[in-house]
Amino acid sequence: MTINVGTTDRILRAALGAVLLFLAFFSGLPAFDAGIVKYGAAIVGVVMLVVAAVRMCPIYSIFGIKTCRV
């Protein structure tokens, strides 16, 4: 497992993950009342936070993309 997510990418992913989790569970917006949208946003938010934490993106690995300095 090689690191392929850089610092800026990591910060953006963590922020997006936190925003999606907030929208899914605490925003009270009508768009997030539907179960599929709420839990879809929650799953994507958790995946974003996990990728930010481990600094390894499987999709980046498939396409050979690296946003970190080596």
User: pLDDT at position 38, please?
Assistant: 92
| 2-15 pLDDT, tens digit each | 899 999 999 999 99
Q: How far apart are CA 7 and CA 65, in angstroms?
A: 14
Instruction: Supply the pTM of this predicted model.
Output: 0.87
Find the mean pLDDT for residues 41-70.
93
Find the mean pLDDT for residues 38-51.
95
How high does pLDDT run on average in the chain?
92
Q: How far apart are CA 52 and CA 30, in angstroms?
A: 29
Any idea where the domains of the chain sit in the sequence?
A: 7-63
User: pLDDT at position 31, please?
Assistant: 85
Find the mean pLDDT for residues 4-30.
93
